[in-house]
Amino acid sequence: MMALTPVLPDAKAGYLRSGLQQVRGWLDASTAVYLSGIEVAQRTEDIVGDVAEIGIHHGKSFLCLSLGLPADQRAVAIDVFDDQSANVDNSGRGNRPTFERNLAAYGAGDNIDILQSSSLDLEQAGFVTAGRRFRIFSIDGGHTKEITENDLWIAERTVVERGLVVLDDVLNRHWLGVISGLFGYLADGGSLVPAVLVPNKLILATSVDQAKQYRDLFAATFPTALEKADVPLAGHLVDVYAQAHWLVRGENDETGPITGHEPMATITAARLTELEGQLRTARSDLKAVQQQLRAANLPLYRKAARRMPWLARPVRPIFRRVRKVMGRPR
């Protein structure tokens, strides 16, 4: 599916087009578009606040949120970085020097705050008592049930009324602590409400009414990417958004695909002919390999009988015995 992004600040658009695939990490390209686009869409709705992320790695998703941010808003990056003893489940390995190089390489501003800490220590450090201030809070840190619950409570207490929380790996079968933590948080009375599911991330709002407004905002911002609406999840309804091939639009009117994604609409006739030729060659190679495998499947003793009968003769009784035991016909 081909889709157009909303118009994005040039720094964001440039990062998506040419930088996203260069930064190491785990982030679906479509989800990068959704994070970037909804950050901008919040501004059009006059939703004011900073952005934050727990779990940075090299900054792949943090850059989607922080690039092009208004100068009077802060972007807070939280990670244990070098203190890997606090990375209890090995769910990532933040590298601060690499992260800072990526910030500089892709044009992040001076409004970045880096906090080296386990999220389990944030409340004791006074992070929560600073008050509600985030319009987007991304959770991608430890993936255990305990840490996920902790991070959701931290986000609930620091996100502004019209803000949103993004929970990573909620349906990832390798990290079932995340969905266990989500259900534990909701069962304990957590007020965040599931609203939108994008590839590998769940977006939660601060109330049922706000969840409905975010579903409407996503529909207006990404009108061609809705895959399924009104899907029940944990007692709420969420809208599911698809993976797509995106043409990224910047404020300077430049439009182009995300590096590594080759939309069909941009493939020339010559390129299509080249791909068809590669497919024919691959099929021919496969056929040759199949013939070799069939030839190799000829029993070894038959080859020996033909090529070296004086060596094959003594082992024939053994093969006959093996075939008899296995119930195979002589």
Q: Per residue in 57-116, pLDDT tens?
A: 999 999 999 999 999 999 999 999 986 655 566 666 778 999 999 999 999 989 999 999
Q: Which of 45, 102, 48 is nearest to 70 (CA)?
A: 48
Strand, helix or coil for residue 8:
strand
Task: Report whether pLDDT(321) > 80.
Answer: no
Q: What is the DSSP letter of 190?
A: -
In contact, 28 and 208? CB cutoff 8 Å: no
Q: How confident is the model at residue 265 (pLDDT cuts 50, 70, 90)?
A: very low
Other Cβ atoms within 10 Å of 112 Cβ, number: 17
pLDDT in tens, 191-245: 999 999 999 999 999 999 999 999 999 999 999 999 999 999 999 999 999 999 9
β-pair partners for 236: 233
